[in-house]
Amino acid sequence: MRTLFFVPDLPTVVGSTYRFDNEDALHAIRVLRTGPGEIFWLSDGKGTYSTVKAIEVSKRSMECEVIETDFQEPLAIEYTVIQALPKGDRLKECAALLTEAGADRIVFWNSARSIGKADKTLEKLDVTIREASKQARRFRIPEIIGPLSTAEVIDEIARTDLAVLFHESATSKLSSISASSPKKALIIIGPEGGITDEELSAFTSSGAKIALMGRPIFRSAHAGIAGLAALQTLLKSW
């Protein structure tokens, strides 16, 4: 499997040479031992990518030749995960898992029972989702949003075609939910302490459907990857 790296100035002219010299290049040289002749991907993180071959490798940079360039169209359905803020280091773990699972938008929510705290811009997660995108060979880095209030989450529900709230009190399985070719779909994952009755009522009144996520009870930071995978399967993205 080819490795993937991100660059802000992606070369797209086939046959041209490109000097690869950012932090990713250093990692490729020192850790992955990338040498002359090896082929890998460079991407702008927005869907465009180029297949390149290392020509000359120095201690901190390498000269590459562009072999091919292409664009990966987004999936027919945009997937959003609304995640109640987890505590501590689970914030990064959660963002990485959702990135690897294929979320297009990761929206952190400051729920009534959220223990975790986060800066308004959540800038510290930029490196996390970038590294997770490389690991998952994603040519599109997901968008990080939040933290949003409950009222703002209601607005998110209103703007989507299908919203699913996973809750342990649900009596219906996800497989029982019908959806007619949605273009935008989202799931809502509550905090470790659970969603309050007021939040549950507000979300369902706004159109969210309640579903049970199997018998095991997941940690909040881990539930999103399972819920997203199940929804992608239901909607035949997988």
Q: Residue 22: give its domain's CATH number.
A: 2.40.240.20
Residue 168 gets which letter from DSSP?
T
88 & 59 share domain: no
210 & 108 share domain: yes
**CA distance linking residue 184 with residue 82, whole number of Å:** 13
Chosen domain end from 71, 93, 112: 71
**CA distance linking residue 70 with residue 77, whole number of Å:** 21
pLDDT in tens, the chain (238 residues): 789 999 999 999 999 999 999 999 999 999 999 999 999 999 999 999 999 999 999 989 999 999 999 999 999 999 999 999 988 778 899 999 999 999 999 999 999 888 766 655 577 899 999 999 999 999 999 999 989 999 999 999 999 999 999 887 777 888 888 877 899 999 999 888 888 999 999 999 999 999 887 777 788 889 899 999 999 999 988 8
Q: Which neighbouring-strand residues pair with 64?
A: 18, 54
Using a 10 angstrom Cβ sphere, with 0-12 exposed, 13-18 middle and 19 or more buried, the burial of residue 197 is exposed
Residue 178 gets which letter from DSSP?
-
Task: Please measure the distance between the N-terminal and C-terminal CA atoms of the chain and give it in whole angstroms.
Answer: 20
Residues spanned by the domain of 163: 78-234
CB 45 within 8 A of CB 5: no
